[in-house]
Chains A and B, each alone.
Chain A
């Protein structure tokens, strides 16, 4: 298992996708944070907290996970991968863990960078900033959600196989379906895997209304439930499938 995990992490490091997505996430998040910190004038502490958690990194991590798995079919490397790891359940587990680790690493880089830049700008502008305890709290929440999204992406890639279909589906879920549900039926939307439940872990209030947001502990369980569901689905499909 640890050998497979090492192999998957090495795979990640030996193509440009990982570097490119990390750079994109970092660049976009820094740009956003800089603009908001410079331009917005009314700040309370909760705004600062949300500034450091509500960025786009999650989307990039989700895409990284999807391409990590669906890409095996796209590039027809799945046979070579399965030959090296004929126990497909362990293979999927190793990949899922590897992308959870990758998600957490990207999030660590991005979060530390935006916290440093954001805090600097805000303190120069004499606006409220967060203490080290609050920053640490925000950091681990980001890491947890990012690890989930990396793992979730892998399993979705395993379920859908077509990289394009998986990406389009996830973009729809993230930008159309979940936001709509959160707006019209928040009691359902709060359980969503890409915004609803992550918001609960991050303690982000959707649309400023805190009635329909899961508590962090419940949200975490919901995320684990989602992961179990998609992992079981992907594992079943992968084990049944003839690789021809």
Chain B
């Protein structure tokens, strides 16, 4: 049983069909990127999952249980929604104390999560004086309060600066490494490409692809990797001798059909120093555009 199960989910707002017959799973111990352009239906799907929006038909559950059927929702699921709002006149710490009271979590958790997100110094200031990044940290702290097994985040990097984005990625990886299921939405592929294991891609409310990043966005010839090395000739030779095709572009080799992990390991075996190694982002973006383009 998957941590999150979306089954034939359909949501109509008046005439707008925000989500159409959407199904996918989110597994524990992995970060799942939920990707799609603006207006694709990401927020609607996540809000349906969290019991905030009623599905027109279909279900969105945590291992079969609707959010509002969960025994202790905040101990099972942590959520960070788009532009998280707090009462401006309440301090960050008091906001967490209220949530701890509602979720029956020990007050000591408040200090622990404030620590975890690095908000200790600002905890006793009113939220109206918080920066965007501090609000986002407070939202994460609130989600972590009940030590839940599932995290649902809607565009959590919106409005964050590069260090903030990198901090957020670290949190997501860390949570998944501890065995939690992490579902994170974004309209920017590049922002999540480095931190997700799986992707679910939607556009116009419909599923356009799901699987691992390489499976979904590798294009027809699978994943491709760009590698820069100190000895490109030797590396190219080694790759070709293992049956891989290599395109040369100066120092940079492009290896269609191989993942960065494969290329890295071959380089290590051959003891060639690797200076740069990355999935071919341009093809990722291109595949993403192709998938989310208006086809229907």
- Interfacial residues, chain A to chain B (CB-CB below 8 A): 3-4, 6-7, 10-11, 14-17, 71, 75-77, 79-80, 82-87, 242-244
**Cα separation A244 to B83 with both chains bound (whole Å):** 12
- Asked whether B108 is an interface residue with its Cβ less than 8 Å from the other chain, the reply is no
Counting residue pairs across A and B whose Cβ atoms lie within 8 Å, the total is: 80
**Cα separation A7 to B47 with both chains bound (whole Å):** 23
Q: B101: which A residues are within 8 A, CB to CB?
A: 3, 6-7, 10
Chain B nearest CB from A95 CB (Å) reads 11
Chain B, interface size category, equals 20 to 34
B104 touches A3 (CB 8 A): yes
B73 touches A86 (CB 8 A): yes
**Cα separation A11 to B87 with both chains bound (whole Å):** 10
A80 touches B84 (CB 8 A): yes
- Asked whether B6 is an interface residue with its Cβ less than 8 Å from the other chain, the reply is no
Chain B nearest CB from A76 CB (Å) reads 4
- Asked whether B295 is an interface residue with its Cβ less than 8 Å from the other chain, the reply is no
Can you list 16 contacts pairing A with B, beta carbon distance less than 8 Å? A3-B102, A3-B104, A7-B99, A10-B94, A11-B87, A15-B89, A75-B85, A76-B83, A76-B85, A77-B87, A79-B85, A80-B81, A80-B85, A80-B99, A83-B73, A244-B44
Chain A nearest CB from B86 CB (Å) reads 7
| A94 and chain B: residue at smallest CB distance | B102
Partner of A15, one of B54, B67, B87, B103: B87
| A85 and chain B: residue at smallest CB distance | B102
Given contacts A7-B98, A11-B87, 18 further A-B contacts (CB under 8 A): A3-B104, A10-B94, A11-B90, A14-B91, A71-B87, A76-B85, A77-B87, A79-B52, A80-B81, A80-B86, A82-B51, A83-B74, A84-B99, A86-B51, A86-B73, A87-B68, A244-B44, A244-B47
B47 touches A243 (CB 8 A): yes
A86 touches B91 (CB 8 A): no
Q: A79: which B residues are within 8 A, CB to CB?
A: 52, 81, 85
Q: B52: which A residues are within 8 A, CB to CB?
A: 79, 82-83, 242-244
B53 touches A83 (CB 8 A): no
| B99 and chain A: residue at smallest CB distance | A84
- Asked whether B70 is an interface residue with its Cβ less than 8 Å from the other chain, the reply is yes
Q: Per-position contact with A for B70-110: 1 when CB-CB < 8 Å, else 0?
A: 10011000010101111111110010011101111000000
**Cα separation A16 to B70 with both chains bound (whole Å):** 34
- Asked whether B43 is an interface residue with its Cβ less than 8 Å from the other chain, the reply is yes
Partner of A80, one of B53, B91, B104, B142: B142
- Interfacial residues, chain B to chain A (CB-CB below 8 A): 13, 43-44, 47, 50-54, 67-68, 70, 73-74, 79, 81, 83-91, 94, 97-99, 101-104, 142
**Cα separation A154 to B34 with both chains bound (whole Å):** 38
Q: A75: which B residues are within 8 A, CB to CB?
A: 85-88
B68 touches A14 (CB 8 A): no
Query: Considering the complex of A and B, which 6 residue pairs feature the smallest CB-CB distances, nearest first?
Result: A7-B102, A76-B85, A86-B68, A14-B94, A7-B101, A243-B52
Whether A16 contacts B89 in the complex (CB less than 8 A), given A79-B81, A86-B68, comes out as: yes
Q: B44: which A residues are within 8 A, CB to CB?
A: 244
**Cα separation A77 to B13 with both chains bound (whole Å):** 22
Q: B74: which A residues are within 8 A, CB to CB?
A: 83-84
Q: A77: which B residues are within 8 A, CB to CB?
A: 85-87
| B70 and chain A: residue at smallest CB distance | A86
Q: A242: which B residues are within 8 A, CB to CB?
A: 13, 47, 52-54
A15 touches B68 (CB 8 A): no
B53 touches A243 (CB 8 A): yes
**Cα separation A71 to B90 with both chains bound (whole Å):** 13
Chain A nearest CB from B11 CB (Å) reads 9
